[in-house]
Structure 1
């Protein structure tokens, strides 16, 4: 057998194309992922699926284009089954990781980063099995371990920037970090890869389609999938997150005087059953088109009332409007932080969630939260 590693070069154009594909997938995938915590019902599931599929397609396409960038004196063919299996692994693992990270638990975020990193690495090495030619591959353990570390670090950094960073950098910067890190994992693993072949088998038939054309097709398909999800899912979410049209407290109807907070019951529906929920169990309220959902810290419950009717029944001091489509219970708010031009209120609930805050309400809501906590602390001191 003859080592083939010395003849192993890359097409610079295809290497650059692989990095660009990873960056654009990261941009769209992270953008969709950022909308997950504030989404409900079917839209939440669509966002998880869209983010996972966009990231998976981008990661897989980057690796496939990276392999097409390899230049040797023989033609490299790819077995179909391992190639498809590598994509399925990437899609499944990425979907689970994005979902876990969207729950906003630090422990789950670490688990998501490890899972996603191992999934990316597994996808790479399963994909390498698809190199169906007159050669076989060996991998340097040191570079394999380094590629795993890079994949986990890249996944962790991406998920942290998207879900947990106090001051998130611009989205393009997050995508740039993601794309470069995923590409770095692939090319690090390839440095430790050696191709072996029998000397007598050096001549092989040419492929029916060139690597350049196939790489172009893959990149166009990957970008098209990202564009479809971007156009279908992001505009509505962006509108919800940035709108400044907020109904101020003075425009709402005050709650009936003399009615205790715990006695304010709102009608709910779930799985065909109807029941009532007390106001002190409500963490947030979200209006989505003609539907209204109440989040109780664990589940999203359908409410037949409009958000305006709900606001009229709840005490304004405790349930301010953060956005034209959102109401939050200040007793569940852990903190309020800036996010882009607007902000988000992080809820301290068993299932972590954020509620968007329009920029016109950001400063006022911070003051209201501070006053509410001071009042609650004073009341607790008096009771003590």
Structure 2
């Protein structure tokens, strides 16, 4: 370090403000990320974008406020292009990392953590080039490596808490740890940075706005963006239990006799999840059916077929290959382990036609296939079901159905175990 580093000093107030901004970004970003595995279609994309943008804005704002906290003998001026480029890098890299982590693969989670950590570090050092009009910078390689390690660790912590932790600590504690880690990365990198005044030092460019005012504006903007995403994307937890119980009742549907006869047959049970579906393309005869047509029985296998649509084409999917069903407003999606496929039937129609013993309706908007259920985890007053599929997904269980569903799942597991023993 040079003697110029000895004149380095920080405003304690702005340092504390930078940490607070990082903590609030971590709180909102992780809150949104926790909702991604159970979301579908447009809402899933919005949650990924909201989580990534909240984290990116918060992390970038923390670094910018951390730079504003520096007091030097020569006032620091910032070039616009590197400053904006650093924010763009941060937004893109964190967006990709959140998407990869949302696929709930351990390998992709590690890749996402490394990518996110390197992206945060790159954002920092690209942003630092914005001061080259006043200072030339040199960086100690040991501190650079330490800052990269801290950034990767902080990223891995946030992604693991959001997507893989079976038992996570309170969300506020997670946010505090994440915020302190991100802040620690910045100040570790700055500890290894030497500032050498440029030749144009005599110009001593002064900012048109005081650093305290600029830091306050950046903080307010960052917190406002987080608040907008939180209010828009995090659903209210206050639900009328009676309405959920009532909505669980399945209304009568046409072709009740056919539905009852199909319900009476038990689908084959085993403990091994079935292979992902080979979706059958609808024939010309099938194309004449509409959304109100009943589920078609596959006479060769005895399995039910549900109509679905993908890329503008209509298909049928076997009930054995359905992992879960989700109702989103006026649309219904069937999840096959990899994709969310649009189904023209309502969730009530699907519930009436699928065997209830295999496909319980655990929430007014969700049906699950018991063969894919790994575990039930407590989530406040309600619960969350984790599904064993290539793209890991969780599904909410309503408070009114939680106790009964635990019993149903236990009975199902016991039944499959006894059948496996008798078969062997």
Q: Same fold (TM over 0.5)?
A: yes
In 2: Cα distance, 1:364 partner to 1:248 partner? 16
Moved more, 141-150 or 249-258: 249-258
Instruction: Tell me the CA shift for residue 266 of structure 1.
Output: 1.4
Instruction: Tell me the CA shift for residue 191 of structure 1.
Output: 1.1
Instruction: Tell me the CA shift for residue 251 of structure 1.
Output: 5.4
Q: Which aligned pairs between 1:97-136 and structure 2 lie closer than 5 A?
A: 97-136=97-136
Instruction: Tell me the CA shift for residue 268 of structure 1.
Output: 1.0
Of 370, 378, 383, which aligns to 2:418?
Answer: 378
Instruction: Tell me the CA shift for residue 170 of structure 1.
Output: 2.0
Question: Cα–Cα, structure 1 residues 289 and 166, in superposed 2: closer, same or farther, change >3 Å?
Answer: same
Is residue 2:365 matched to residue 1:325? Answer: yes
Render the CA deviation track for 1:309-368: whole Å, top value 9, x for unaligned. 111111111111221111100001111112333221111111111111123323332222
Render the CA deviation track for 1:163-217: whole Å, top value 9, x for unaligned. 1111222222221111111011111111111111269936613211111111111
In 1: Cα distance, 2:249 partner to 2:65 partner? 58
Corresponding residue number in structure 2 for 1:364: 404
Question: Cα–Cα, structure 1 residues 33 and 67, in superposed 2: closer, same or farther, change >3 Å?
Answer: same
**Preserved contact between residue 268 and residue 301 of structure 1 (Cα < 8 Å):** yes
Corresponding residue number in structure 2 for 1:266: 306
**Preserved contact between residue 243 and residue 358 of structure 1 (Cα < 8 Å):** no
Of 284, 294, 312, which aligns to 2:334?
Answer: 294
The runs of 5 or more residues in structure 1 that have no matched partner are none
Question: Cα–Cα, structure 1 residues 128 and 243, in superposed 2: closer, same or farther, change >3 Å?
Answer: farther
Moved more, 4-13 or 226-235: 226-235
Corresponding residue number in structure 1 for 2:47: 47
SS at match of 2:122: helix
Corresponding residue number in structure 1 for 2:244: 245
In 2: Cα distance, 1:341 partner to 1:158 partner? 24
In 1: Cα distance, 2:198 partner to 2:250 partner? 81
Instruction: Tell me the CA shift for residue 3 of structure 1.
Output: 3.9
Q: Which aligned pairs between 1:34-183 and structure 2 lie closer than 5 A?
A: 34-183=34-183
Instruction: Tell me the CA shift for residue 235 of structure 1.
Output: 2.4
**Preserved contact between residue 262 and residue 355 of structure 2 (Cα < 8 Å):** no
Corresponding residue number in structure 2 for 1:257: 261
In 2: Cα distance, 1:250 partner to 1:196 partner? 72
**Preserved contact between residue 136 and residue 198 of structure 2 (Cα < 8 Å):** no
Of 318, 341, 347, which aligns to 1:278?
Answer: 318
**Preserved contact between residue 247 and residue 323 of structure 1 (Cα < 8 Å):** no
Of 340, 349, 353, which aligns to 2:380?
Answer: 340
Is residue 2:302 matched to residue 1:303? Answer: no
TM-score normalised by structure 1 residue count = 0.93
SS at match of 2:82: helix
The runs of 5 or more residues in structure 2 that have no matched partner are 268-301
Corresponding residue number in structure 2 for 1:223: 223
Question: Cα–Cα, structure 1 residues 8 and 203, in superposed 2: closer, same or farther, change >3 Å?
Answer: farther
SS at match of 2:389: coil
Question: Cα–Cα, structure 1 residues 327 and 71, in superposed 2: closer, same or farther, change >3 Å?
Answer: same
Is residue 2:395 matched to residue 1:355? Answer: yes
Moved more, 327-336 or 246-255: 246-255
Question: Cα–Cα, structure 1 residues 190 and 246, in superposed 2: closer, same or farther, change >3 Å?
Answer: farther
**Preserved contact between residue 25 and residue 58 of structure 1 (Cα < 8 Å):** yes
Question: Cα–Cα, structure 1 residues 222 and 41, in superposed 2: closer, same or farther, change >3 Å?
Answer: same
Number of matched pairs: 382
**Preserved contact between residue 26 and residue 179 of structure 2 (Cα < 8 Å):** yes
* Cα RMSD, aligned residues only: 2.3
**Preserved contact between residue 117 and residue 152 of structure 2 (Cα < 8 Å):** yes
Pick the structure with greater CA Rg.
2
SS at match of 2:367: strand
In 1: Cα distance, 2:89 partner to 2:200 partner? 36
In 1: Cα distance, 2:368 partner to 2:143 partner? 49
Render the CA deviation track for 1:70-91: whole Å, top value 9, x for unaligned. 0011110111111111111111
**Preserved contact between residue 337 and residue 389 of structure 2 (Cα < 8 Å):** yes
